[in-house]
Amino acid sequence: MGEGAARDTWVRPDGRTVRYYHLDEPLPQKLSLAVVTGADTYVGRAVVQFLHGHGLPVAALSTAPLPLAVPRFVGTAGFGPAWEALLAAHEVHTVYHCTRQPAPGWGSSPTRRQEAEAWAVHVADTLALLARWDDEPPAVVLLSSAAVYGDGDPALVAENRPLAPDSAYGHSLAAAEALVADFAPRHVILRLFEVVGPDHVGRVADSPETPWTQLTRGQAVTTVPERTDYVALDAVVTALASAGQHLIDGGAPLTLNLGTGVATDPAALAAAFSVPVPPTFVGKGLVADMSRMRSAWGWVPPAPPLPALARASRAALAAEALAHD
Amino acid sequence: MINLVADPLTGDWVSLADARQQRPLTAPGESTCPFCPGPASEVGSPPFHVAVFPNRYPVFDSPGAAEVVVYSPRHQDDLGYLTPAHARLLWEVWGERSHALAARPDVETVFVFENRGRRIGATIDHPHGQIYGYPYVPPRLAQERRARHAACPLCQVENWAVVIAESPEWQLVVPHAMRMPYQSVLVPRRHLDGLGALSREELANGAAMLQQAYRAYDHLMGFRASLAMGVHQAAGGHLRLECLPIERGQMRQKYLAASELVMGAFVTDIPATVAASRLAAAFRAASLPSASSRDLADLTDLKEPES
């Protein structure tokens, strides 16, 4: 044995001998960092950028390449080998769990396969993620959705409203919330009420086929009705980051609504873009009651994002649309 | 009950160890890992860096031997990311146990190995390897002996493989006739027949290069690559450590199928030179454990050639 190595033995009750070898040096501490799952989603990517930009150690789990200089592991939130590589070298203090889109083309009439994919993404991946840790898992910030409330009265929705999902998407997200609440004592669940966007150039959520790109192309808006209201990307990212900080500071588990708290007026939308908005372009009517979010950590919901959208360059929007052609 | 059965067609031995059906299969995160220290654990509770014990579910048990080597008390550790001193200690333990088992009259061949990752067959996630003391000469070693080379091919390794990294003591190579995509072999420059013959410098450098090779595979794939690692030790032979990953690209697995399983004829679809080039880049990028998670996967073109 080399210098500093020692050994001893123990005879087990079943007669087998265990030989121990040890060094003088203790096992090293690993670098502790935050992990963003679904880091190639629209929100996940922005969260990685935000944390990295603030000098916080962060790693990304994604299936697609990222144009970001952060450690990336290839896989979904439920892919064991990605976690094994990550945890071999790092500790994890917080997981920002941004579930990926269940399947391309998800809309108001999902296929059975798409519905099954929603369960796989929300439930199977979340369970596999939480099961990585023998003991208590790290703090978890789950980005959920108002879909867990289902369609309802067009009124303010507070967090104590009973869940009544009416789609596989909503049901599976509600199940993911239950898993997080059960397995991760330190958690914040944020229920997102509106499609995320715009960012600084006016992009909205993951799909290039948004009302905005369609409008810039002069096409009819064919999007699903939910997409009348938008919460600014920066707002979502800062809400997620502040949720993580809340948990690092020892804050209690929380489930909060996240949105603008204000329904967008279709007339204002039309005025912002100087184009007519079809009558189908109307929201579901669920509006987040943001009072609890405000009281939880003083996060102020943004104003309706239309002014920001209106400021976005039409040229940038058109370029974005063309880039996806 | 362990039975050794000889195949009269080939002369190969097969070990039938039906008690292994009872061995535990721990899912990720299960609290019943038998290798995590604790009162009910296989390793007990004392502190350790490396622990060795006879396998509770052995493939061989007099004649022959089967031992488990637990690399670390920490469940999430991995050979590629241990400290250099810890990795050296592991190699010393391998050498010591190899020597001890080889001295037994009922052991013909000692084989140190690791099945890394569940997808290649590891039933327990805790970082560990095994040592078999075969009571016979295993088929591949017998095949090599029958080949009767005039000169040791590994002493002129450039003729046998593409060199992707080297040090004064070792060369890491990709064989021209690789059996699995991204197969690599760590070969000492000196013709040594076992781990116990390594000098202190050779051991330290070899341990570091094997760790870097492990990390290189992770770089290449973007996740912990599943692979089989085995140490060839035989009297008069040329020591080598062989890594056989099952990944043929990101999220793509190479399966052993009819040609490999029935005929023993391996088929690969990546030229050795291409694999060597990619692995060499990954090896350079994996020089430090702290760089282990850098996303080389994005920098390396893993697209398969159009067929």
Q: Residues B29, B30, B32, B34: what is their CA dihedral angle, to the nearest 10 degrees?
A: -50
Hey, are the CB atoms on A17 and B31 less than 8 Å from each other? no
DSSP assignment letter at B287: S
Hey, are the CB atoms on B48 and A20 less than 8 Å from each other? yes
Of the candidates B121, B115, B109, B130, the residue with the CA atom closest to the CA atom of residue B52: B130
pLDDT tens-digit series, residues A75-84:
999 999 999 9
Does the beta carbon of B26 lie under 8 angstroms from any beta carbon of chain A? no
Question: How close are the terminal C-alpha atoms of chain A, in Å?
Answer: 64
Residues 84-113 (B) with a CB less than 8 A from some CB of A: 85-86, 88-89, 92-93, 96
Is residue B60 within a helix (H) or strand (E), and if so which, with residue range?
Answer: none
What's the confidence (pLDDT) of residue A194? Answer: 76
pLDDT tens-digit series, residues A205-247:
555 455 555 555 555 544 333 344 567 777 788 889 989 999 9
Listed as ranges, residues in chain A with pLDDT below 50 are 208, 221-228, 277-283, 304-325
In terms of pTM, does the model score above 0.90?
no
What's the confidence (pLDDT) of residue A229? Answer: 55
Listed as ranges, residues in chain B with pLDDT below 70 are 1, 20-31, 288-307
The length of chain B is 307
> Which of A169-172's residues contact partners 24+ apart within 8 Å by CB, and which partners?
A169/A102, A169/A106, A169/A110, A169/A115, A169/A118, A169/A122, A169/A145, A170/A145, A172/A118, A172/A119, A172/A121, A172/A122, A172/A123
Does the beta carbon of B122 lie under 8 angstroms from any beta carbon of chain A? no
ipTM of the complex, rounded to two decimals: 0.89
Test the A interface: residue of B45, B223, B250 with most A CBs within 10 Å: B223
Domain residue ranges in chain B: 2-16+32-291
What's the confidence (pLDDT) of residue A278? Answer: 45
DSSP strands (E only) in A50-89 = 58-62, 72-74
- pLDDT exceeding 90 applies to what percent of chain A? 40
Does the beta carbon of B221 lie under 8 angstroms from any beta carbon of chain A? yes
Contact list, A85 vs chain B (CB under 8 Å)? 78, 218, 222-224, 292-293
Half-sphere exposure (CA, 13 Å, Cβ side) for A308?
A: 21
Instruction: Give A38→chain B minimum CA distance, Å.
Output: 15
3-state secondary structure of A314: helix
Fold observed for domain B2-16+32-291 = HIT family, subunit A (3.30.428)
DSSP assignment letter at B79: G
- In this structure, what token pair is assigned to residue A29? 């501490």
- My answer on whether omega of the bond before B84 falls inside 30° of 0, hence cis, is no
DSSP assignment letter at B185: E
Of the candidates A256, A269, A257, the residue with the CA atom closest to the CA atom of residue A304: A269
Contact list, A83 vs chain B (CB under 8 Å)? 28
